[in-house]
Structure 1
């Protein structure tokens, strides 16, 4: 689970963001936005895009609407962010694919997306939410910490054309 981190470019005239379920074309936005932002910001290669496409495609093909969700954040009808909550087991959910584009940054949208997913997980009866991110994604890590997640494992790995430190985080509900 990752989010890209350029400095916010708030626009005082921008409309507030709204959260909604996915519509046709939104999963393409999720894949394209992750691939482009992570390539530009972190030098991630096409294997990252493949992972995002796999996660998003699996959600489209077989999500359980009663226990799994995708939220799309939009401003003035344009998508600017996403997050997924998917089932890992009856008791455990996974937070996946958190992203806020530069156009959506600076208004707490990442936190809103995570909080929405946590509320949904609680309503479904999950007892734990886990996520996987990278140590260099400091903005995302701050969001997870503020939401009450704790770091439970760090492990160096080579992925997406980079040497990274993968982190597993967990929130007990």
Structure 2
């Protein structure tokens, strides 16, 4: 079974970790930037992730789902978001923002999870630089939680 992990968040950090856990479970998984995936037909399942910016999913993730919605609807799909620049994602379940919820409904996604975000020096964009100047950056990714969720996805796929 082959799985594409399309990610826009943190230079594929979360997506790379997810794909690694899926491979350890015996699945053929690859992490690729969402904007570089020409199609999802070769994949049996897809995990789509995007960073949250100003309460919206990053544009490459939105475009990916819009561009491939028909093919995504025909296979198992999971979504994740990455974004809160605080420990809130580790403390409680954060529901998908409205646009992600609509995208989930369009492709019948199985699940969505929100992980903490990461914003560190060198980030591009004036908003990112402003947040960093205000001292609100940092790395809030919970790697054990990411690995645990990936293991749940793998278990669901290998049980098929």
Give the TM bin, normalised by the shorter chain: 0.3 to 0.5
More strand per residue: 1
Q: TM-score, normalised by structure 2?
A: 0.34
Q: TM-score, normalised by structure 1?
A: 0.32
Larger helix proportion of the pair: 2
Higher relative contact order (CA 8 A, sep 6+): 1
